Amino acid sequence: MRISVVVPCYNEEAVIDESHSVLYETMKSNFDDFEIIYINDGSKDHTRDLLNKISIAFAEVRTIHFSRNFGHQPAVTAGIKFATGAYIIIIDADLQDPPSLIPQMVEMARSENANVVYGVRKSRDGETWFKKQTAKMYYRLMNHLSETKFPLDTGDFRLIDRKIADVFNQMDEKHKYIRGIISWIGFKQLPIYYHRAERFAGDSHYPFSKMMQFAMRGLLYFSKKPLTLATNIGLGLVLLTLMSLVAQFVKWYLHPESMIIGWMSIFTAIVFFGGVQLLTIGILGSYIGNIFDEVKNRPEYIVDEIVG
């Protein structure tokens, strides 16, 4: 039974040699038939050259080079498409998710007849308090807003079997939110708990701005509730305005001398309602933007070269 490992890479020259050494030793020690697929997502450093050397030196390794940087999720998508194993493990190259856990994931999938084994982080080293708390809030907000329930405190580090991979490869949608899609597919999915280490070397390629974009992608692709929320806010503000007008009329009727005409209240109301309108339009525009990207039907990624 072949085991495939998918490793997306972007500017990983500082860690890729050590990462491959640990990953290859783990696979060679535990499995007779395996493949490692590196996806070079348009790296601008020496990652391409290092991966080419690895792919030539090791028969079990293949590298897929993109024509430019398309993003982490398209890289994982390509890896799943090219993988030939009965089980496919998705893992990043930074050694935060331990390759040593792969044999346990495979054994759990076999013994429990599970289609997915996803990693759940019990603790996270090398990350700020702010990032940990925002990530915690995000997963819980997603579960509250989405029609699909997602496991908490998980990333893309997981095992999927061939049944899941075949269903996933049929999905042509762009801007995939992979952990959400795999949860949506269903079948038997089990957690495995682990300690997430600090990056072995280099810097994170997910600054706060990219994390926000990724969070918005998951929210907009798996929930229509933001549209409902915008509608409810608009309705609530209309009712609030009507109540305010009635209150002002009653006050004018009973105590006309107490009425003070000023520009501040008008200015505040205009700014407030204008902000709400722009927020609502922005939410609607995000959904329309996603539709726009889908109907163009451009490829999710472009392969430049395959080595190995």
In a domain, 144, yes or no: no
Judge if 11 and 110 occupy the same domain. Answer: yes
Judge if 192 and 116 occupy the same domain. Answer: yes
Q: How many domains is the chain built from?
A: 2
Nearest Cα neighbor of 307 from 35, 61, 36, 91 is 61
SS3 category, 240: helix
Q: What is the CATH number of the domain that holds 52?
A: 3.90.550.10
Provide the residue range defining the domain that includes 287. 225-296
Q: What is the predicted pLDDT for the residue at 299?
A: 86
Phi first, then psi: give them for residue 94, nearest 5 degrees. -85, 0
In a domain, 245, yes or no: yes
Q: What is the predicted pLDDT for the residue at 295?
A: 77
Q: What is the predicted pLDDT for the residue at 204?
A: 57
Q: What angle do CA 105, 111, 114 make, to 5 degrees?
A: 65
Judge if 116 and 188 occupy the same domain. Answer: yes
In a domain, 142, yes or no: no
Judge if 76 and 28 occupy the same domain. Answer: yes
Structure tokens at 117: 């084994």
**Residue 301, H or E segment:** none
In a domain, 18, yes or no: yes
CA 214 – CA 175 distance, rounded (Å): 10
Judge if 57 and 200 occupy the same domain. Answer: yes
**Residue 135, H or E segment:** helix 129-145
Sequential DSSP letters for 21-78: HHHHHHHHHH-SSEEEEEEE-S-SSSHHHHHHHHHHH-TTEEEEEESS---HHHHHHH
Q: Which residues pair with 37 in a beta bridge?
A: 6, 62
Judge if 117 and 236 occupy the same domain. Answer: no
Judge if 95 and 237 occupy the same domain. Answer: no
Q: What angle do CA 26, 32, 34 make, to 5 degrees?
A: 70
Q: What is the predicted pLDDT for the residue at 289?
A: 72
Judge if 14 and 51 occupy the same domain. Answer: yes
Structure tokens at 272: 């407030």
SS3 category, 246: helix
CA 170 – CA 266 distance, rounded (Å): 54
Beta strand pairing call for 3-9 and 87-90:
parallel
Q: What is the predicted pLDDT for the residue at 176?
A: 82
Judge if 187 and 281 occupy the same domain. Answer: no
Judge if 81 and 160 occupy the same domain. Answer: yes
Structure tokens at 35: 């493949």
| pLDDT per residue rounded down to tens, the chain (308 residues) | 899 999 999 998 888 999 999 999 999 999 999 999 999 999 999 999 999 999 999 999 999 999 999 988 899 999 999 999 999 999 998 888 899 999 999 999 999 999 999 888 877 665 566 666 666 666 666 666 666 676 766 778 999 999 999 999 998 887 788 888 888 898 999 999 888 766 555 555 555 565 666 666 656 666 666 666 666 776 676 677 667 767 767 766 677 666 556 555 675 667 667 767 777 777 777 777 777 777 777 888 899 999 98
Assess contact for 66 and 300: CB atoms under 8 A.
Answer: no
Judge if 76 and 102 occupy the same domain. Answer: yes
